[in-house]
């Protein structure tokens, strides 16, 4: 039996550091799996970004990776969202509503104590499939 190799995908707007010990995006057949995305380094600006702004940046990175893999926003079917303050859930929801169209991807929202860098308030894992679309707007 011949085993298919996973395909690593990159996007110019989502650079990977030379020292990274992970892949931001892998395509496994029709499945697209992404590492948790954050608004880093944008969150290190002089004026701290709020959770709404960070969520939009993260969703933009996710879109860039899915498009680099050959898909689009309509192929994203699941999000796992980590926030450092559960009171920010409405800001995350507002950003999702601005970014996606119904039907929305399935989603889990979890409060965590901290994220990898200070100033980050949200991190998102995303899953997409190239052979399934939530809408027919490709």
In a domain, 6, yes or no: no
Choice between 44 and 134, residue whose per-residue pLDDT is larger: 134
**Beta strand 25-28 pairing with 122-129:** unpaired
The residue count for the chain: 138
Position 83 in a domain: yes
**Distance of alpha carbon 132 from alpha carbon 74, whole angstroms:** 8
User: Sheet holding 76-83: strands in order across?
Assistant: 7-8, 25-28, 31-34, 122-129, 76-83, 106-111
% of residues, the chain, pLDDT over 90? 81
Contact criterion met (CB below 8 Å) for 92 and 107 = no
The verdict on residue 86 lying in a domain is: yes
d(CA 88, CA 122): 9
* Predicted TM-score (pTM) of this structure: 0.93
Q: What CATH number is given to the structural domain containing 101?
A: 3.30.1330.40
Distance in angstroms (rounded) separating the CA atoms of residues 130 and 110: 27
Is 55 a member of any domain? yes
pLDDT at 77: 98
Per-residue confidence at 16, pLDDT binned at 50, 70, 90? confident
Spatial distance between the Cα atoms of 2 and 4, rounded to a whole number of angstroms: 7
Residue 137 resides in a domain: no
| Residue 66, in any domain of the structure | yes
Domain extent for 34 = 23-129
Number of domains in the chain: 1
Asked, for residue 14, whether it belongs to a domain, the answer is no
Give the DSSP H/E element, type plus range, for residue 32.
Answer: strand 31-34
Is 10 within the bounds of a domain?
no
pLDDT at residue number 57: 96
Q: What is the mean pLDDT of the chain?
A: 93
Q: pLDDT tier at 138 (50, 70, 90 boundaries)?
A: low
């Amino acid at each position: 039996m011949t085993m298919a190799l996973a395909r690593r995908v990159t996007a110019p707007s989502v650079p990977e550091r030379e020292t990274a010990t992970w892949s931001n995006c892998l395509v496994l057949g029709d499945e697209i799996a992404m590492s948790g995305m954050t608004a880093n380094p944008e969150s290190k600006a002089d004026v701290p970004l709020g959770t709404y702004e960070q969520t939009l940046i993260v969703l933009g990175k996710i879109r860039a990776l899915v498009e680099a893999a050959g898909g689009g926003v309509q192929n994203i079917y699941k999000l796992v969202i980590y926030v450092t303050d559960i009171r920010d859930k409405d800001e995350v929801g507002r950003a999702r509503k601005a970014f996606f169209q119904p039907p929305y991807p399935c989603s889990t929202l979890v409060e965590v104590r901290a994220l990898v860098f200070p100033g980050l308030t949200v991190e998102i894992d995303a899953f997409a499939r190239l052979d399934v679309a939530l809408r027919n707007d490709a």
